[in-house]
């Protein structure tokens, strides 16, 4: 939808799918730029395009995915919103056939984004995500 809007083709959008129906992939829509850690000159230049709210969202989402040991073949979705300094992260893990799904949300200070991602991943594991992920991994390894 954002891409169509940027291209001036918003009239082609038939429906916006709300986040409570379809979550997105981790980091979806975020732009990442890599630089050598010791290149202080370039790092200083990059500060001009740094966007703290996007960084906080990405930290939460990536910590969530990393903790679940997910990847591109695993149905893991997220949605992250900011309301002032309050970051809300919603995450889900689904079976490959979509018959089983665990989903939950967590809210806390945006400055604690990474920990929120880790905490949400643990909540989903407690709800059965680990079993779903183990089954997916076994199926992927068979193929």
Contact status, residue 87 vs residue 114, Cβ threshold 8 Å: no
What is the pLDDT at residue 46?
92
Share of the chain above pLDDT 90, in %: 69
Kindly calculate the radius of gyration of the chain based on its CA atoms and give it in whole angstroms. 17
CATH of the domain spanning 33-142: 3.30.160.40
Q: Could you give the CA distance from residue 120 to residue 107 in angstroms, rounded to a whole number?
A: 9
Q: What is the DSSP letter of 37?
A: T
Q: Which residue has the tokens 């059965």?
A: 128
Model pLDDT for residues 77-136, shown as the tens digit of each residue: 999 999 999 999 999 999 989 899 999 999 999 999 999 999 999 999 999 999 999 999
């Amino acid at each position: 939808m954002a891409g169509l809007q940027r291209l001036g083709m918003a009239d082609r959008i038939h429906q916006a799918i709300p986040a409570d129906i379809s979550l997105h992939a981790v980091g979806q829509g975020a732009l990442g730029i890599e630089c050598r850690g010791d290149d202080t000159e370039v790092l200083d230049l990059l500060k001009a395009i740094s966007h703290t709210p996007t960084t906080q969202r990405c930290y939460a989402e990536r910590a969530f995915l990393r903790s679940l040991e997910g990847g591109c073949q695993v149905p893991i979705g997220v949605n992250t919103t900011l309301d002032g300094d309050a970051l809300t992260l919603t995450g889900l893990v689904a079976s490959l056939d979509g018959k089983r799904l665990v989903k939950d949300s967590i809210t806390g200070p945006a400055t604690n984004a990474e920990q929120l991602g880790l905490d949400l991943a643990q909540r989903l594991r407690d709800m059965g995500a680990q079993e779903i992920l183990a089954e997916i991994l076994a199926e992927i390894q068979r193929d």
